[in-house]
Structures are given as structure tokens and as C-alpha cells.
Amino acid sequence: MEGPLLFLLLLLWKLSDAERCSVAQRQCMAQLGCGLAWHNFMTSCGNLLHNKTVNECHPSCRKAMTSLLMSASGSDFLTCDCDGNQFCRRQKLRMDICQSAVRAAMLKLDDPEAVVSCSLATMVCKADTSCQTAMEYYDTNCVKMFRGERCTARCHNSLDVLYRQPKAAKLRNCRCDGSSGFRRSQAARREKGGGFTCEIVQRRTQELCFARKRHQQRYKHQKQTTTPARKSAENGSGFLLGSITMVTVTMTIVLRFTIV
């Protein structure tokens, strides 16, 4: 019994190992953010995965692979053990060409001082479901700001929520790289000209939202510091007027007694 039982256990272990990648893939695709990252990865890295390109890691593939690795389920999918699945092994070997570039990109994402491209920052955010949802609200509620009109209260709130997302850490100071996919919502795509460029969005966000917010905070601080002084001055002037009135009344009484 020990021989067949041992063989059965080894077989089950082999099968479970072989299913790791497929399970990780299903778990990733079941999540909104990771599913989008996986789709971008398969699309952007299709030529590499199917051996249609040699010794080249295209920037779009590198960014897609990086954003997929930044999600928990996506990292499980890319680091899973093929264990006998030859097709899976061949794909992993082809992805090795992007290894150094992806590692460098991930180090930049972990460095608070490093600046990354806006396309990569956007893909990393969209690979996270919460960050993707926050970005969609931002895109929808900030169309007036994109147009250069004003930064509404809803836009301010959406912007604050977006920048509180851990996966959006690089969005605020990212570097525009000419990518057409940066922050283009359904509402923005309906605009004439097909939306707003990265440079326009960054400039108007800075001018209409951040600069205005700093001005409001500075005005509020000045108002808070000047109000007590004004009240003190008013109280002081009231006391002075009261004192003058008392002196006047006293002098009047004295004069009356003197005349009498």
C-alpha cells in the first residue's frame, strides 16, 4: 500500500504544482484591477510571449509587466511554478529578457524620490481596483478642470481620494511621456480633439486645484490670526470709550456742585 499511496501523493503534488499558474491567472482575472493588468500584459507582450520578437523588451510590454507585478495576484501569476508545463516554461523564459528593466522600474516605484512616466504610474494605479475606481471618479468629476474652467468641490474631493491611494503615489509628480492613455475618461474622450493631453491635465490641475487650495489655506490662516487681534482691539477701544464716558460724567457732576 505504501508504494501506490506514495505514487498517488506524488501525482497529486505534481498536479497541484502544474495548476498553480492557472489558479493564479484565474484569481487575477477575477479582480477588476488585476484583470485589466493581465489583459494589458497579454496584449502588450503578445509578440514576446509567442516568440515573434527576439532580444527585445518593448517599453509597453515592460510597463504592462511592471503593473501586473505590482498587484498581489498578478505577482503570483508571473512568479508561479510551471512544473512540467512546457508552454508555460517557454513563456517564462521569453519574459526573462524584460527582467532587468522591470526590476529597475519596480525599484523606482518603491523610491519616494524617483519620478516615473505617467503612463506607468497610470497603469500601476489601474492595476489596483480601489485606485482604478478613484481614478474613474476623478476623470468624471474633473472634466471642467480639464477644460480650464474651474476646480469644483467634487473635483477637489476626487483628487484628494485619488492621491490617498497607495498605488497612486507616483501620479502627482509623474513625467509626461506622450502616452495617449493618461487620464482620459469617457467624458474627456467626448470632447473635441479626442481628450486632453498629459501636459494640459498636469498644468490645469496645478493651477486650478493645487494653487487655489494653497491660496484658500493661506487666506484661512491669515483670517484666523487677524480675528483675535481685531477682537482685542475692539475690546480695547470699547474699554477706552467707557473710561472716557465715566470721566465725562464725573466732571459734569463736579461742575454742577461747583456752580451751585
Task: For residue 176, count CB atoms less than 10 angstroms from its CB and return exposed for 0-12, middle for 13-18, buried for 19 or more.
Answer: middle
Q: Give every residue of the chain whose pLDDT is below 50, as ranges.
A: 1-19, 180-190, 192-193, 215, 218-219, 221, 233, 237, 239-241, 243-244, 246-247, 249-260
pLDDT of 74: 79
Q: How many CB atoms lie within 10 A of CB 185?
A: 20
Do 138 and 188 lie in one domain? The reply is yes
On whether residue 232 sits in a domain, the answer given is: no
* Angle of helix 72-79 versus helix 32-44 axis, rounded to 10: 40
Task: Give CA separation, 192 vs 140, 176, 178, 196, 213, in Å.
Answer: 16, 21, 19, 9, 29
Q: Cα angle at 192 between 176 and 187, to 5 degrees?
A: 75
Q: Which residue has the cell 527576439?
A: 54
76-101 pLDDT per residue, tens? 776 787 877 888 888 888 888 998 99
On whether residue 64 sits in a domain, the answer given is: yes
Domain assignment of residue 208, given as a range: 115-221
Q: How far is it, in rounded angstroms, from Cα 127 to Cα 102?
A: 16
pLDDT of 20: 74
Do 30 and 68 lie in one domain? The reply is yes
Enter the C-alpha cell of residue 203. Answer: 498644468
162-178 pLDDT per residue, tens? 999 999 999 989 999 87
On whether residue 237 sits in a domain, the answer given is: no
Do 125 and 215 lie in one domain? The reply is yes
Do 102 and 121 lie in one domain? The reply is no
On whether residue 228 sits in a domain, the answer given is: no
Q: Which pTM was predicted?
A: 0.69
3-state helix, strand, coil in the chain (%, to 5): 75, 0, 25
Do 121 and 211 lie in one domain? The reply is yes
29-59 pLDDT per residue, tens? 888 899 999 999 999 999 888 887 767 889 9
